[in-house]
Structure 1
Amino acid sequence: MQALPLAIMAFLLYLGAASWQGLTLLRRVPQRPALVRALGVLGLLFHLPAALQLIDQSPGQMPGLSTSAAVLTAIMIVLLLGVSLAKPVLNVAVALFPISGLALLLAVGLPSPERTGGMTPGIALHAMSSALAFGVLFIAACQAGLLGLQNQALRHHHTRGMVQVLPPLTTMERVLFELIWAGMVLLTLSIISGFLFLDNMFAQHLAHKTFLSLAAWLIFAILLVSHHVLGWRGMRAVRWTLGGCAVLLLAYFGSKFVLEVVLNHA
C-alpha cells in the first residue's frame, strides 16, 4: 500500500482520538481512555508502515528531517500509550496525536533529501537513545503545558471545566518530574554514546547539536536539583521544562533544517 493513504488514515485516526480527549477536557463528552488508546493504536498501525516505507526509500542510509520527524513521532506515541497505562498522561494526546499525523503527512509529501552513511551498532544506540530521550521529554513538555494551564486556572479560582477533569495538581507535578527523570537518564545515555561512538561530536556539522544537547541537559539538571533542594515547582518548573524541551528541539532538528532546507535552497 502506498504511503500517502496510510498517512491520511493515521492522521484521521489521530485527529479523532485527540478530538475526543480534547472534548473530554472541555467536559463535553465522558472520559473514554480505552477509546482514545484504541484510536491511537489504530493510527500507529497505519503510521508505522508509512514510516518504514519512507526509510526504505533510501535503504542503508540515515533518514533526513521529514522522515526523522515521522519516525520520532511514532516512537513518542508508543511511549505515550505505554506510559498512559500506568500514569495519567493521556491528555498529552490532545497535542501529540495531531502533531504526529501532520509530521507523517509532511514526510510523505516532502520526502527527505538527506543521504548519509549507514549506522554502526554504536551509532544505532546513540540514535535510539536520542529518539527515546526526546520522546519522553516532549511528553514531559506537553504535561508541563497542561500543568501550567491548571496552575493558572486554580490561581484565578477557576475550578470548572478542564480543572475538574485533570488529575490533582500534586499528581500532575509528580508525573512531570518522573518523566523528566526518565528523559534525563536517556539523554545522558545519548550524550555519552555520542562521545563514544561518533568520530567528533564537535565537528562543524555536529557542534551546535552537541552544545545545544549539553545545554538542554544542564537546564533539566538544574531543574531537578532545584526541585529537590529548593522545592522548585509550579510555574517555575513549567517554564524550565518548556525551555529545556525547546533547546532540545533545536538540537535535534536544527541541524537537519539548516542543512536540508536553508542551505539546500541557498
Structure 2
Amino acid sequence: MYSLTLLTILSYLAATVLLFVGVRQSPIPPLRWRLPALSLATLAMLGNAALIYQNAYLEHLMSLNMSVFNALSAIFWISSLITLISSFKSPVENILLVLLPMTAVSVALAQFAPDHSIVMHARNPALDVHILFSLVAYALITLGALQGAMLSWQHRALHSRHPGGLVRLLPPMESVEQLMFRFIGVGFILLTLALATGFLFLDNIFAQHLVHKTVLSVVAWLIFAALLTGRHLAGWRGKTAVHWVLSGYGALVLAYFGSKIALEWIFNINS
C-alpha cells in the first residue's frame, strides 16, 4: 500500500509541475504539457481511488470508515475527478494547479496521519445514497469556493492596479465567475438531496452529538439559497457573490469537518 501511496502522491505533484510550466506559457497550456499532465493526474486518481476503497470500505465488517482524513481524501478526489472531466470542455487548469497538490496532501494524511477513531457505519442502501450525495455536494461546493477565492484575488489585484504576476495566468474574471456559479448551483442541488436523505433515512439526525452538524448544514443551505436567489432576482455578482460563497462554504466546513474533529478527536464519538 505504501508504494501505491507514494506513486499516487508523486503523480499528483508531477502533474502539477507540468501544468504550471504549461500555464506559464499560455492560460490554455500547449498540448505537449497538457497531455502528459492530465495523463499523470488520471494515473494519480486511479491510485487514489484504490486507496480510498482500501481505507474506507471495511469488507470483513461490511462497514464504512468515514473518519476525518478518509472523508477529506474522498472529497478532494471527487473534486479533482470533476475538474479533470471538465478540463476536456473548459479551461480549468488553474483549478487543477491548486487542487492536485491539495489532493496529494489529503492522500498523505489519510495514509500516514494517525487516525483518532474508526468511524464505522453499517452498510445499507439509504445510508450509501446519503453519503454519496453529501460527498459530491461538498466536492462541488469546494470547487465553487476555490473559484470564489480566485475571483476575490483577481478583484484585489485589479483594484490595486497591479494585475501582473500569477494573476495574469487566470482566465477572465467573467469566466471564473460563471464557473463558480455553475459549481455552486449543482452543488446546492446535491446538498439539498443530502439534507433530504439525511432527514428521511437517519433516525438520529438531531441527536445531541449531531445537532450542531445538522444546524450548520442547514445554515449553509440557507446561505447558498439566498445567494442563488439574489443572483437570479437582483443580479448579484463580483465581491458580493464571493462573500456569500465563502460564508456558505465556511459554514459547511464547520458543519462537517468541525463537528467530525470535535466528536472523533475530542469526545471519541462516531459521527
Fold conserved (TM > 0.5)?
yes
Instruction: Find out whether 1:82 has 2:80 as its counterpart.
Output: no
Partner of 2:148: 144
2:166 partner amino acid: M
Instruction: Find out whether 1:99 has 2:99 as its counterpart.
Output: no
Deviation for aligned residue 1:140: 0.7
Instruction: Find out whether 1:40 has 2:9 as its counterpart.
Output: no
CA distance in 2, matches of 1:122, 1:30: 42
Q: Deviations over 1:26-79 (max 9, x none)?
A: 559982333332221111122122222212457422311222222222222111
Q: Is the 8 A contact 2:28 2:93 kept in 1?
A: no
2:3 partner amino acid: P
2:10 partner amino acid: L
* TM alignment of 1:189-204, pairs within 5 A: 189-204=193-208
Deviation for aligned residue 1:159: 4.1
CA distance in 2, matches of 1:125, 1:239: 31
Partner of 2:10: 12
Q: Deviations over 1:79-119 (max 9, x none)?
A: 11112222332311222211211111111112452243313
Q: Is the 8 A contact 1:89 1:143 kept in 2?
A: no
Q: Is the 8 A contact 1:13 1:39 kept in 2?
A: yes
Deviation for aligned residue 1:230: 2.0
Q: Is the 8 A contact 2:8 2:43 kept in 1?
A: yes
Q: 1:248 aligns with which of 231, 246, 252?
A: 252
2:158 partner amino acid: L
* TM alignment of 1:33-182, pairs within 5 A: 33-57=34-58, 59-63=61-65, 64-109=67-112, 110-111=114-115, 113-182=117-186
Distance 1:36 1:238, change over 3 A: farther
Fraction of identical pairs, as percent: 34
Partner of 1:260: 264
Deviation for aligned residue 1:154: 2.2
- The Cα RMSD (Å) is 2.3
1:194 partner amino acid: G
Instruction: Find out whether 1:186 has 2:190 as its counterpart.
Output: yes
SS of aligned partner of 2:90: coil
CA distance in 1, matches of 2:57, 2:203: 26
Structure 1 length-normalised TM: 0.89
Deviation for aligned residue 1:201: 1.7
1:144 partner amino acid: G
2:5 partner amino acid: A
CA distance in 1, matches of 2:49, 2:63: 18
CA distance in 1, matches of 2:238, 2:22: 24
Distance 1:238 1:29, change over 3 A: closer
2:136 partner amino acid: L
Gaps of 5+ in 2: none
Structure 2 length-normalised TM: 0.88
Gaps of 5+ in 1: none
2:45 partner amino acid: L
What is the total number of aligned residue pairs between the two structures?
Answer: 263
Deviation for aligned residue 1:139: 0.7
Q: Is the 8 A contact 1:144 1:176 kept in 2?
A: yes
CA distance in 2, matches of 1:111, 1:261: 9
178-187 vs 157-166, greater mean Cα deviation = 157-166
Partner of 1:213: 217
